[in-house]
């Protein structure tokens, strides 16, 4: 028998206005909305003062302004006698939530998009990353772990889910790109850990005819190059599909990633992807992803090879089996429902 109540606990921040909730991170919207088709979802998050672009279509959202309200909201869910709890990532907020849930012997699942080690090394510094390591060890030892990449955790002790934001609109009505010049596309946060600033330095050295479009929020308005176009954040999926279709190579210059959505988005539109050696592990068996060194010569050779062999590369990409959003949610739901079987 399926469990009717699912409490999702997330460290991320959501903006509330007149009983409506908004976020920028699409994951904050997709996961609770879609799982609400299988369960009665209660969503506990932190509150934000900044209004996001995405409206979350879910009624039972509790946004806490501090850790005490956060824990209070957790305790109030104990009225659901057969509820299951899904913690999103391991942070101080979700860690203290886990301790309380464990003390009351609640069934807890933790969903890891990434291991968190590199992020907390950046936040805490190498000397204090042990704090995160302790939280990680405790939570993963006493909960059911769901991961989106086999590198994140022992596969014998976790459940692997192939994450996706794709729906049918991404998989139909493909358009052939123009190949008269290289049109790079970057989709993501404009922040140092994403490697975009390092890539911009390389892009400014390119000797061939190329353009770059950047889709994502950026507080850096000092990007000055006539061949670079800033789109800002694109909330509408069809508009984002059109942008992919108007470019011929997607670039992902990140230093670390788990399972980036943008790769499957690009592959779904039959657009090849260039990544660097730091994240070569994300390739798996997918066709159309090219790994190069983080220097201008390797980038230039890789981009030229893709353009010269575009038709055959697109043909090979037809072999890709890309998971959809529905597949992902069904996997997570099955893991939660079947855990006691």
Q: What is the pLDDT of residues 50-100, one digit of tens each?
A: 888 889 999 899 999 999 999 999 999 998 888 999 999 998 999 999 999
Q: Is residue 302 predicted with pLDDT exceeding 80?
A: yes
**Cα 70 from Cα 62, distance rounded (Å):** 8
Task: Please tell me the CATH code under which domain 168-317 is placed.
Answer: 3.40.50.2000
Handedness of CA 313, 171, 31, 340 (dihedral sign): negative
Mean pLDDT computed over 5-31: 90
Residue 219 banded pLDDT, cuts 50, 70, 90? low
- Check if 5-164+325-338 and 168-317 are the same fold: yes
Q: Is residue 308 predicted with pLDDT exceeding 90?
A: yes
For residue 175, the model assigns a pLDDT of: 92
Bigger pLDDT: 16 or 116?
16
**Cα 96 from Cα 178, distance rounded (Å):** 52
For residue 208, the model assigns a pLDDT of: 87
At a CB cut-off of 8 Å and minimum separation 6, what does 299 contact? Answer: 202, 206, 274, 292, 293
Residue 340 banded pLDDT, cuts 50, 70, 90? low
CB-count exposure of residue 312 (10 Å: 0-12, 13-18, 19+)? exposed
Q: Is residue 244 predicted with pLDDT exceeding 70?
A: yes
For residue 1, the model assigns a pLDDT of: 43
Q: Is residue 220 predicted with pLDDT exceeding 70?
A: no
For residue 121, the model assigns a pLDDT of: 66
Cα–Cα separations (whole angstroms), residue 250 to 1, 81, 157, 236, 244: 44, 47, 34, 19, 8
Bigger pLDDT: 273 or 235?
273
For residue 26, the model assigns a pLDDT of: 80
The pTM for the full model equals 0.83
What percentage of the chain carries pLDDT values higher than 70?
92
Mean pLDDT computed over 239-259: 92
Q: What is the dihedral of CA 49, 55, 59, 61, to 10 degrees?
A: -30
Bigger pLDDT: 154 or 238?
238
Mean pLDDT computed over 238-243: 95
For residue 118, the model assigns a pLDDT of: 64
pLDDT tens-digit series, residues 287-301: 999 999 999 999 999
Domains of the chain, by residue range, sit at 5-164+325-338, 168-317
Pick the CATH number of 5-164+325-338 from 3.20.20.70, 3.40.50.11740, 3.40.50.2000, 3.40.228.10: 3.40.50.2000
CB-count exposure of residue 14 (10 Å: 0-12, 13-18, 19+)? buried
pLDDT tens-digit series, residues 312-329: 999 999 999 999 999 999
Q: How many residues are listed for the chain in this entry? A: 341
pLDDT tens-digit series, residues 157-214: 789 888 898 999 999 999 999 999 999 999 998 888 789 999 999 999 988 889 999 9
- State the chain's mean pLDDT as an integer: 89
């Amino acid at each position: 028998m399926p469990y009717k109540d699912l409490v999702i606990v997330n460290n991320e921040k959501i903006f509330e206005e007149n009983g409506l909730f908004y976020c920028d991170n699409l994951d904050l919207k997709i996961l609770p909305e879609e799982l609400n088709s299988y369960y009665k979802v209660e969503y506990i998050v932190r509150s934000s003062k900044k209004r996001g672009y995405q409206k979350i279509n879910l009624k039972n959202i509790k946004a806490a302004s501090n850790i005490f309200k956060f824990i209070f909201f957790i305790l109030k869910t104990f009225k659901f006698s057969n509820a299951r709890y899904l913690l999103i990532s391991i942070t101080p907020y979700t860690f203290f939530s886990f301790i309380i849930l464990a003390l009351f012997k609640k069934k807890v699942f933790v969903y890891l998009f990434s291991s968190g080690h590199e992020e907390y090394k950046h936040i805490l510094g190498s000397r204090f990353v042990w704090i995160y390591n302790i939280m990680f060890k405790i939570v993963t030892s006493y909960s059911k772990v769901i991961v989106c990449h086999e590198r994140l955790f022992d596969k014998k002790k976790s459940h692997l889910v192939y994450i996706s934001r794709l729906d049918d609109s991404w998989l139909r009505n493909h358009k052939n790109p123009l190949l008269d010049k290289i049109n790079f596309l970057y989709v993501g946060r404009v922040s140092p850990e994403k490697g975009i600033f390092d890539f911009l330095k390389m892009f400014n050295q390119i000797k061939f005819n190329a353009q770059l479009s950047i889709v994502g929020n950026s507080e850096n308005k000092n990007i000055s190059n006539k061949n670079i176009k800033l789109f800002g954040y694109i909330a509408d999926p069809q508009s984002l599909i059109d942008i992919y279709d108007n470019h011929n190579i997607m670039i992902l210059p990140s230093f670390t990633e788990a399972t980036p959505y943008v790769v499957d988005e690009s592959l779904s539109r039959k657009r090849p992807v260039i990544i660097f050696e730091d994240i070569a592990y994300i390739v798996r068996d997918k066709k159309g992803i090219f790994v190069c060194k983080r220097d201008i010569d390797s980038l230039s050779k890789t981009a030229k090879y893709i353009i010269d062999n575009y038709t055959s590369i697109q043909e090979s990409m037809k072999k890709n089996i890309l998971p959809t959003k529905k597949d992902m949610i069904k996997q997570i739901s099955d893991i939660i429902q079947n855990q006691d079987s």
